[in-house]
Chain A
Amino acid sequence: MAERVPTAQALARQVRFHLSFTLSSLTVSLRVANPSHYLPMSVELSERPAPPAPREITTQPRRSDQIFRIIVTIGGMASLVILGLIALFLSIKGLHILTEEKLGFITGSAWEVITDDTGTIAESKFGIGAMLVGTFLSAMIAILVGVPISVLSALYLTFYANGRVKKFLISVIDLMAAFPSLLFGFWGFFVFMSSAEYWAKLINKYLGFIPFFDVPTPIFERSPFIAGLVLAIMIIPIVTSISREIFDQTPLDRIQAAYALGATRLAMIKAVVIPFGRGGIIGGAMLGLGRAMGETVAVYTVLNVVYQINWQILFGAGGNVASLILLKFGEAGPYEVDALMAAGLILFLLTLIVNAVADLLINRFGGKGR
């Protein structure tokens, strides 16, 4: 029986033979060359093997999938865990300051630690009222200046620019969004400040009768106005790209319907784009607000931090919670650090609320028309 199994050469010869004969028999010859045809049937089918048990059909994921899902879910929880830990640890360190100062921590504007000769703390007073007002002021200036410019830029990018110019501008603006705040801060201090000071003087000269633009003494350097403008420059790229994404989602049929009814571009934007993207724009502005409120380094460099509630935006004295933390941290003792942690906790909660509102607005109203 064994000699009936052909050698490899014999097989090859056979294949060549068949191939040389006729092309149409190619498939046949290959089948002939298949060794299994020469092998003896050694298994006798005396009795049929039992059919395999029917596979259990289930929607239950396999063991490997269960492990996978658990791991991914744990990874997905990371953001929740980290945010929770931030709140927890800042509270552990800062809560006793909050309970001591009570509401005064938010409304007061004194930040003093008086130590006696042995170095123990005799008296302390912490309040971040002035800093909160300053944070609010400079962030509002940033929003008021930055958001209109961003929305108009986004309109230009979506409906006026096209082709290569559009691509180039979009990548330049995205690049600007990645600039570190350090860069904005020092550029603001060394380059931008002199121009902004000049503008502040002009505003004060012609609009000084409005209480906001009045100053007690003519010091225009490092004012909340300048800090707000630097923050505006920082948030413009962010708000622009969010608004642009929203505008891009405007349904094309509505745009074309407006044009078909004879609308000019202005009329089309007023009737279709703005109602559609209003929520998204507001959400983008809130995100910008969150960024402007939490900004540290850029504000620290261009703002003169003073512990006094100051509503006169052109005057060179203001405040910012994040800058306060940076400013006081270097010289702070353990007790004062706890107060800084409390300030950090307030800032954290504030930005969290602003971000939550922004998220709600973008999801609820973004991408809906009337």
Chain B
Amino acid sequence: MTQTIPTPQRPWQPSKTDRFETLGVLVASFVLAGLTVEFTGLNGKLGFVVSLFFSLLILNYGFYFQKQGKAAAKDSLLQVFTVMAIVLTLIPIVSIIATVVSKGYKGLHWGLLTKDMALASVNDPIVAGGLGHALAGTILMVGGALIISFPIGVLTALYLTEIRGPLTRPIRFLVQAMSGVPSIVAGLFILSSLIYPVTKALSGMMGSLALTILMIPTIARTAEEMLRLIPNELREAGVALGGTQWRTVAGVILPAAKSGLVTAIILGVARIIGETAPLLLVTGGGDALNLNPTEGAMGSLPYYIWKSFLTGGTPEAFARAWAGMLVLLSFIFILFGLARYLSGRKVG
């Protein structure tokens, strides 16, 4: 007596015929769109995309209608819509990255990260100056903002996850509301509360403080989510060993959430590193290297890009600005990659 063992199948996945049919419809739509552009009034890239969209809709509907009936045909339309939407979402990203890379590489040179613009104007040849001052300023300001906002953000997150007092809901709402504060309002606030009444001068520290307002909600919300991921057993174990709440948080929960907190820092930095509007109001944006945040105008990457675009006009100025954008974008890429890597690891 022989026993036949059926080979495992995957009926939920599209079979070969299904894939062939999908591909067929796709190719047919492209051909139809091409023909429409060729023989009717529609022309150009936009015409092609529009006619491709409609021919995809029509052909999909027709094909699945004759194959499986009306319900399946309607279902296929939704698929066309969603795929179209995701393509539309991705086009700007690809276009932005391609633009920055293709225009920014012209402005790269060896002194870019070390020289400053003290002796060069934006219209001078590219090798005459660099964005060292802007880089130093951005690092100082973001670092300053981080020093203030990290403790506040983590304390807020601890209040929301560990203490869970009567104010949990209002505070969660306020953090949410704070993340929606327009960046220019943060700049105006620093102007009205500190610069006009107290210091009467623009400086890097004021930029830091304005960025802090924008950074706290990002850090608080990310840290809250990370602390929620810590299993409750760890808290119970800490308390069961006789630890007070403070010892449990400091000795068990925060170490377990370490990589999550680093992720929070990174996302916070990524949020503010390209922030422009408040820096235009409160930092003064100097052209020379200035390492003293409490005194004098301080440059920053966004300010440098802004100035190069708006006061220049020559190809050199644009090359400078796009190179600055490339540096900024690569910072964001690096930070984001780090955050992905850290949050992809296991918690605890």
Contacts and interface: CB of A to CB of B under 8 A. Distances in A.
Interface of A: 61-62, 64-65, 67-69, 71-80, 82-83, 85-86, 89-90, 92-93, 148-153, 155-157, 160-161, 169, 171-176, 178-184, 186-187, 190-192, 195, 198-199, 202, 233, 236-237, 240, 264-267, 269, 287, 290-291, 293-297, 322, 325-326, 329, 337, 340-341, 344, 347-348, 351-352, 354-356, 358-359
Given A179-B332, A297-B276, A326 B184 contact: yes
26 contacts: A72-B162, A73-B163, A79-B174, A79-B217, A79-B220, A82-B213, A89-B189, A90-B189, A148-B85, A151-B85, A152-B81, A152-B86, A153-B88, A160-B83, A173-B89, A178-B267, A183-B328, A190-B99, A240-B89, A264-B71, A296-B183, A296-B184, A325-B188, A340-B188, A352-B177, A355-B176
Interface in B134-153: 151-152
Given A266-B78, A329-B280, 15 more contacts: A71-B155, A73-B167, A75-B152, A80-B171, A82-B213, A152-B84, A176-B93, A181-B275, A183-B328, A236-B92, A266-B77, A267-B75, A291-B180, A351-B180, A359-B176
B177 A356 contact: yes
A272 B271 CA distance: 35
B53 to A, nearest CB: 13
B54 interface: no
A261 to B, nearest CB: 12
B85 A186 contact: no
Interface in B150-182: 151-152, 154-156, 158-160, 162-163, 165, 167, 170-171, 173-178, 180-182
Given A64-B246, A191-B99, A73 B159 contact: yes
A65 B335 CA distance: 36
A71 to B, nearest CB: 7
Contact of A85 (B162, B189, B216): B189
Contacts of B178: 79, 82-83
A216 to B, nearest CB: 25
Nearest to B309: A186
Given A76-B155, A264-B75, A160 B184 contact: no
Nearest to B177: A355
A287 B267 CA distance: 19
B306 interface: yes
Given A76-B167, A326-B184, A187 B89 contact: no
B277 A322 contact: yes
B106 interface: no
Contact of B277 (A68, A184, A326, A359): A326
A283 to B, nearest CB: 10
B274 interface: yes
A77 B173 contact: no
Given A169-B86, A264-B71, A351-B181, A72 B159 contact: yes
B79 interface: yes
A347 B309 CA distance: 27
B280 A326 contact: yes
Contact of B193 (A89, A183, A294): A89
A68 B245 contact: yes
Given A76-B171, A90-B192, A322-B182, A265 B78 contact: yes
Which 8 A/B pairs are nearest by Cβ-Cβ distance?
Answer: A180-B274, A75-B155, A294-B182, A76-B159, A152-B85, A156-B82, A68-B246, A264-B75
A77 B100 CA distance: 41
A187 B95 contact: yes
Nearest to A80: B174
A269 B74 CA distance: 12
A93 B83 CA distance: 50
A153 B185 contact: no
B37 to A, nearest CB: 15
Given A179-B96, A182-B306, A297 B277 contact: yes
B302 interface: yes
A176 B89 CA distance: 10
B138 to A, nearest CB: 11
B297 interface: no
Given A73-B159, A180-B275, A325-B188, A348 B181 contact: yes
Nearest to B183: A296
A237 to B, nearest CB: 8
Q: Quick one: which of A82, A267, A322, A351 has the most chain B CB within 10 A?
A: A82
B184 A322 contact: yes
B183 A294 contact: yes
A290 B101 CA distance: 31
A354 B180 contact: yes
